[in-house]
Amino acid sequence: MCGGSLTPFERAVRDILDRVSLVQVVSDYVQLKKTGRTYKGLCPFHSEKTPSFNVNEEKGLFYCFGCQVGGNAVTFLEKAAGLSRIEALRRLSAMTGIPLPEERSVVDPAEEARRQERSELLKALQVAHEFFVDRLQSPGGAIAREYLASRKVPPEVARTYGLGFGGARPMELVAALERRHVSLRHAEAAGLIVRTSLGWQERFHGRLVCPVYNLDGAVVAFSARLIPPDENGPKYINSPETLVFRKGETLFGLYQARTAIRQQHGAILVEGNFDVLSLAAVGVGNVVAPMGTALTADQVRLLARFSDSVTVMFDGDEAGRKASRRAVGPLIEAGLDGRIASLPEGEDPDSLARAQGAKGVREVVSRARPMFLYLVDSLVKIHGWTPHGRRAVVDEVRDVLALERDAARHAIYQEELARLLQIDAAEIRRLLRKAGEPVTTPSAHLADCPEPERRLLELMLLHPELIGRFLDEGDAALLTHPEVRDLYAELCGLASTPGVDPIAAFVERGDVKSRLRAMVCRVLATPEKYPLDPDTEFRSAMRDLKVAALKRQLEALVATGDEDEDLRRVLQRTELKNQINRLLADKAAV
């Protein structure tokens, strides 16, 4: 941070950002791979198949070349975890052990109201979760504990997944919420209670309750099951969608499975909560499930942040096989390497784990077939091997392959389809072309900018002290490109603002309409582009800027000269050429 004296709060923020590991913060949300001096992964803020999200640990900055979103650890937690700025700073304060003083600042009323509402909902859900966990261990929770034991879910797994019981007596939860000063309005907004003509009704009363966590470890919803022999109502009910919960964007068990997914370089996708719990109970921890709905593209993209390999293991019935076929599209769309594990008729992952343990689960996973092969074979079984049947297979597969945006993989799938259906490859390509060829993303157009001016901006991003140095040693006239001048003025303004990290603030202001900003920010992912020390690189850029300025002056003189030009013009031209040659000689000597 640059400029002026800092308040105690600003000093603490600076020290926190200096000490915290951005890679550690981001790795809780994104699978990162080291590439040179930086780290790369799939962007958590937009859909992509080729990683364009970069983390520069040395600078403490992240930047996505796809959506031009960037910033520091605070920015990341604000966007990835949905935290407010102060909540993100408190988390980083806890991580680093650096105390965070109180800050007095002006906040946007609408944003503050939304933050407060979100905070109240999370508090209501947390209080409810504590109540459910307590009720599970109470005498009234014996029926739920016995049911878990009958399903071979041990207490340690129940604790890991935060299982609870909705309570044996009516209105127990409401009383607990009121004792903890949670308003019934917020309890209703969080989906915990429902207003009826007879008064309030507790949504999860008498049920086995499975909490749903976000990637930040906060409870955002619940999924609750009837406990046999009770047959009154649907077997499962989920929280409604709220300010903090979107069912189609959430995977049950992902918070607990993240580490195992990374360690085992793959995830297992099952249908239900008890499939997850039963596999975890036998030691298979890299398992998640959609929230009682068809697998969505958002859920697959969320999973893709942790692994590029997924094995689908749905139930061994017609509904499970249909769901497996439907899963292929979202997996292809997300660019994942998907496989489908088939279970015998009437079997499901839960029963498999209880009967055969981890060994049986892993054997089934090891026999999983590539998703495209599974899809085509299963469609052939449905439509038959007749000409009409195989043509029907092509028609169904065409819509799925239209989701594949990688041209190479699309071509491979075409060849595989031709081989499996024994149809000429050219004919397959013709039939698939009706749905349109895969969309390819064009390379970003580079802004038309003089190279030395762009280089100077890149050096300033890598070495912020050069912002002030150019102000002292340079000349604004050396910058000819309008956007370069604007961006440099922006950097100067940020650098002179007390308590502001100019580079983090510059990156956070990323604008998809600014091609030059996006271009220069790329240097944060490739700092090795400038291997020399900052002083040498800066002097080299300054020489090139001066040479370019002198050449412009020389060109102007030549353009205005004529046969009768006076001696003064000749001398001016000669001096300009000499200055250019001296600068070029100095550069060659470095």
Whether the CB-CB separation of 137 and 144 falls below 8 Å is answered with no
Q: What is the pLDDT of residue 521?
A: 85
Whether the CB-CB separation of 529 and 520 falls below 8 Å is answered with no
H or E segment at 63? strand 61-64
Taking the C-alpha atoms of residue 167 and residue 138, their distance in angstroms, rounded to an integer, is: 9
Distances (CA, A) of 20 to 76, 86, 150, 258: 13, 16, 45, 21
Q: What is the pLDDT of residue 105?
A: 57
Strands (E), 345-466: 369-370
- In tens digits, the chain (590 residues) has pLDDT values of 444 567 888 888 889 999 999 999 999 888 899 988 899 998 888 777 788 899 999 889 998 888 888 889 999 988 887 677 888 888 899 899 999 887 665 556 777 788 889 999 999 999 999 999 999 999 999 999 999 999 999 999 999 999 999 998 989 999 999 999 999 999 999 999 999 888 899 999 999 999 999 988 899 999 999 998 877 788 999 999 999 999 999 999 999 998 899 888 899 999 999 999 999 999 999 999 998 778 998 899 889 888 889 999 999 999 999 999 999 999 999 889 999 999 999 999 999 999 999 999 999 999 999 999 999 999 999 999 999 999 999 999 999 999 998 888 999 999 999 999 999 999 999 988 754 444 444 333 344 688 888 888 888 888 888 888 887 877 777 888 888 888 888 888 888 777 778 888 888 776 545 678 888 888 887 787 887 888 888 888 888 888 888 787 777 766 665 544 555 555 565 665 666 666 666 655 44
Whether the CB-CB separation of 444 and 518 falls below 8 Å is answered with yes
| Structure token pair of residue 432 | 């698939």
Taking the C-alpha atoms of residue 148 and residue 277, their distance in angstroms, rounded to an integer, is: 10
Q: CA nearest 102: which of 12, 170, 19, 185? A: 12
DSSP 8-state symbol, 338: E
Helix residue spans in 180-272 (DSSP H):
184-189, 254-264
Q: What is the pLDDT of residue 262?
A: 83
Helix residue spans in 236-313 (DSSP H):
254-264, 273-281, 297-304
Q: What is the pLDDT of residue 445?
A: 38
Helix (H, G, I), strand (E, B) or coil at 500: strand
Burial of 526 (0-12, 13-18, 19+ CB in 10 A): middle
- Per-residue buried b or exposed e for 226-253, using 16+ beta carbons within 10 Å of the residue's own CB: bbeeeeeeeebbbbeebebbebeebbbb
Query: Rounded to the nearest 5°, which phi and psi values hold at 294?
Result: -60, 145
Helix residue spans in 334-370 (DSSP H):
349-366
Whether the CB-CB separation of 214 and 28 falls below 8 Å is answered with no
Q: What is the pLDDT of residue 1?
A: 47
Strands (E), 179-259: 193-196, 199-202, 208-213, 219-225, 236-238, 251-252
H or E segment at 64? strand 61-64
Q: What is the pLDDT of residue 3?
A: 45
